[in-house]
Amino acid sequence: MKPAHEEPVLDAVHELMHLARSRMRQLMVGAGHTLGPMEGRALAFFVRQPGSTLSDLVAHAGRDKGQLARLVGSLRDLGLLESRPDEADRRVSRLYPTAAALDIHQRVGAIRRQVAQQAVAPLSAAERVQLADLLERMNRQLRP
């Protein structure tokens, strides 16, 4: 039997992320964004690492290659990603965010910062540092 104090921590983290994602989704819909969470994460990956390949995304996300190929195809159809052949190996396709993708990424980032500021508003600066440290320690403990 596990101690009663461990499970509520994970429950609180889960609820916090659920509330934060719900608030971000609400603000994004209000701002006219129609990308889903997976599309947004994939787009953010290519914004942070332009010129990456689908295989790079698969390795990063740990998701099914077919699912991510469809998702990348959708982002290309929306004009948010463009494909260019690799200069060293023309068989390899490198993916780059378009200007429209960079604009969306910037606006979504502003919404994320707004929600983060709202979430940490009741905490002092020292409490924010302490919380970030504690969460990082928990993350390290669970990483393979």
Residue 23 pLDDT > 80: yes
**Is residue 28 one of the residues assigned to a domain?**
yes
In this structure, what token pair is assigned to residue 119? 């979430």
> Given this model, what pLDDT does residue 7 score?
82
Q: Give residue 5's pLDDT.
A: 63
Residue 38 lies in a domain: yes
pLDDT band, residue 29 (cuts 50/70/90): confident
Q: Indicate the Cα dihedral angle 17, 22, 28, 31, nearest 10°.
A: -140
Residue 76 lies in a domain: yes
Residue 62's Cβ-count burial label (10 Å; 0-12, 13-18, 19+) is: exposed
Percent of the residues in the chain that have a pLDDT greater than 70, as a whole number:
96
Integer Cα distance of 61 and 26 in angstroms: 25
pLDDT at res. 102: 95
Residue 40: band (very low, low, confident or very high) from pLDDT cuts 50, 70, 90 = confident
For residue 81, the model assigns a pLDDT of 97
**Mean pLDDT for the stretch of residues 117-123:** 96
> What is residue 6's predicted lDDT score, i.e. its pLDDT?
67
**Total domains in the fold of the chain:** 1
Three-class HEC string of the chain: CCCCCCHHHHHHHHHHHHHHHHHHHHHHHHCCCCCCHHHHHHHHHHHHCCCECHHHHHHHHCCCHHHHHHHHHHHHHCCCEEEEECCCCCCCEEEEECHHHHHHHHHHHHHHHHHHHHHHCCCCHHHHHHHHHHHHHHHHHHCC
Does 59 fall in a domain? yes
Domain around 45: 12-142
Is residue 130 assigned to a domain?
A: yes
Give me the pLDDT at residue 72, please: 95
Q: What predicted TM-score, i.e. pTM, was given to this entire model? A: 0.75
pLDDT at 33 over 90: no
Residue 1: pLDDT band by 50, 70, 90 thresholds?
very low
Do residues 21 and 108 make contact, with C-beta atoms less than 8 angstroms apart?
no
Please compute the mean of the pLDDT values over residues 66-91 and round it to a whole number: 93
